[in-house]
Amino acid sequence: MSSDNVAVRVSHLTKSYEIYDTPRDRLRQFVWPRVQRLLGLRQRQYYREFRVLQDLSFEIRRGETVAIVGKNGSGKSTLLQIICGTLNPSRGEVQLNGRVAALLELGSGFNPEFSGRENVYMNAAVLGLARHEVDAKLAEILAFADIGAFIDQPVKTYSSGMYVRLAFSVAIHVEPDILVVDEALSVGDIRFQSKCLHAIEAIKQRGAAVLFVTHSPGQVEALCSRAIWLHDGVVKADEQPKTLMRRYINFMTHDMDDAVPAVVAPVACDAQPAPSADWVGLGASGHRSGTLSAVIDRIKVVGPDGAALRVADCETQAVDLFLSVLVHERVPMPLLAVGVFNELNEPLVHFNSENVGAALAALAPGRHTVRVALELPALRPGEYLISVGLDDGVSGQSVVLCHVYDAWPFTVAQPPRRKPQGGYVQIAAGADTIAVLSRNEDEAVST
Ligand SMILES: Nc1ncnc2c1ncn2[C@@H]1O[C@H](COP(=O)(O)OP(=O)(O)OP(=O)(O)O)[C@@H](O)[C@H]1O
């Protein structure tokens, strides 16, 4: 490669597939063009060409961490597979400068019949490490993967989370010059994800290039120096992560990307009277993770009428999200996160109290209620989930205390009548901090 600083160069990359309407067309394509060529006739085509990637060109430099975002089916995995050499392009080329470690879809990379330990040696050997080098790193690899005695079991007995733990651990310990990660991190639990993100940060500091697919705006903004938005196989944007993610989320929400949304206003919280709707318990029904030293165990989301929001308007509407938090150990620097996800688990609204500039007071042991006022954007008809999370940011590296992914499902029933005038989320004006409203006694909880 001409420039030593370039780790990955993608030039005029195109990938297309032949799509046959029927098996008979496939057979026809196999036979007839040869016959037609022999007879000197015009050759007919019995398939449609489906272009997954169209003439992509870009470079990634050493030390860059680049997120690839895009809606489902936009070509992200195809691009990463071609970069890693597990899929051939139809046209164009990829040049790589250095050792590539990749974490692609589950099932690739490890032999399911061999034990985890055997796979570590085989995988590291493929990536260019000698046996004695693996011996020297083995303890670190096993400690990071943290899968205990399963390391000597065949990989086919692993859960998807265990698989990713081991594969990621090998990938980062071979000291790659280029690390490629395709959404695999979303399989691990939240604690492991956070460990991986710190490891990626360390790899980036070492000067390696990191390329990863994620649907998490938080990860893109926190980790990446650049983001590439793939849309229908072409690069729709290649720019600074914050601006790109605003455009991307706006597009995913409203099918608009021309208007840059308004800056998210501080989360509001004030001394509102308790809403009449009943609390909903987040016990077994919620997918809860974290240290649980403080637990978000009840939620109510109420519309303007004070009733539980189960069917939202398609129009922008103000809602209040009340969280009841049972704190077991003091939380010195609470960070509250809220996300709204669609059926494909794509985030449409995502913010935390820190990145909207709102400070939350320390939480003492006991029960607390927190109110977050937000304006839901106009959403397409469908099913949605609100997720909530509480972290402690006191150590500088936030500790996940309690994340609940499926805290509040709701439906949008009617098609939108008009598009909103920009802004993917506006949080109701009010006090500029999230505050602890009250220490309240137990109330009725519906489950
Ligand atoms: N072997 C194949 N034959 C035909 N089409 C394919 C093949 N493999 C992938 N595709 C199509 O290529 C397109 C891009 O797929 P790809 O998996 O790269 O998208 P993606 O952006 O990673 O999606 P997701 O976010 O859902 O993982 C999809 O429309 C998919 O159906």
For 91-125, how does the pLDDT look when each residue is reduced to its tens digit (9 = 90+)?
999 999 988 888 876 556 788 899 999 999 998 88
Query: What gap in Å lies between CA 362 and CA 306, rounded to an integer?
Result: 28
**Ligand 1 atom index nearest CA of 71:** 25
Contact call for residues 36 and 42 (beta carbons, < 8 A): yes
Per-residue pLDDT, 42: 82
Strands 178-182 and 48-61: unpaired
Per-residue pLDDT, 93: 94
Letter for the amino acid at 179? Answer: L
pTM over 0.95, yes/no = no
Q: Which residues line ligand 1 (CB under 6 A)?
A: 17, 50, 52, 70, 72-78
Contact call for residues 228 and 395 (beta carbons, < 8 A): no
**Ligand 1 atom index nearest CA of 15:** 12
Q: What is the ipTM of this complex?
A: 0.97
What is the CATH code for 6-254?
A: 3.40.50.300
Per-residue pLDDT, 183: 78
Tens of pLDDT, residues 287-305: 677 888 999 988 999 887 8
Neighbouring C-beta atoms of residue 407, cutoff 10 Å: 25
Ordered by start, the domain boundaries in the chain are 6-254, 279-446
Non-local (6+) Cβ contacts of 258 within 8 A are: none
Per-residue pLDDT, 153: 94
Query: How far away, in angstroms, is 233 Cα from ligand 1 center?
Result: 10
DSSP secondary structure of 319-333: EEEEEEEEESS-BSS
Protein residue whose Cα sits closest to atom 6 of ligand 1: 17
Residue 323 structure tokens: 């969280």
Q: What is the mean pLDDT of each run of 10 residues along the chain (447 residues)?
A: 80 93 87 85 84 95 93 91 91 92 73 92 86 92 91 90 88 90 71 78 89 80 88 92 81 53 37 59 68 89 85 79 88 87 73 72 84 79 86 77 86 59 28 31 37
Query: How far away, in angstroms, is 439 Cα from ligand 1 center?
Result: 50
Residue 232 structure tokens: 């229908």
Contact call for residues 427 and 355 (beta carbons, < 8 A): no
SS3 128: coil
Residue 349: closest CA among 295, 274, 424, 260: 424
Contact call for residues 344 and 253 (beta carbons, < 8 A): no
> Phi and psi of 104, rounded to 5°?
-100, -155
Per-residue pLDDT, 287: 64
**Rg (alpha carbons) of the chain, rounded to whole number:** 25
Contact call for residues 193 and 186 (beta carbons, < 8 A): yes
Decide yes or no: CATH 3.90.226.10 for domain 279-446: no
Per-residue pLDDT, 190: 62
Residue 300 structure tokens: 């109510």
DSSP secondary structure of 220-234: HHHH-SEEEEEETTE
Protein residue whose Cα sits closest to atom 27 of ligand 1: 72
Tens of pLDDT, residues 329-356: 999 888 888 888 877 666 777 777 776 6
Strands 209-213 and 366-376: unpaired
Per-residue pLDDT, 268: 44
- Buried b or exposed e, range 5-25, using 16+ CB within 10 angstroms: ebbbbbeebbbbeeeeeeeeb
Per-residue pLDDT, 71: 86
User: How many Cα atoms within 13 Å fall on the side-chain side of residue 443?
Assistant: 23
Residue 167: closest CA among 210, 198, 129, 122: 122
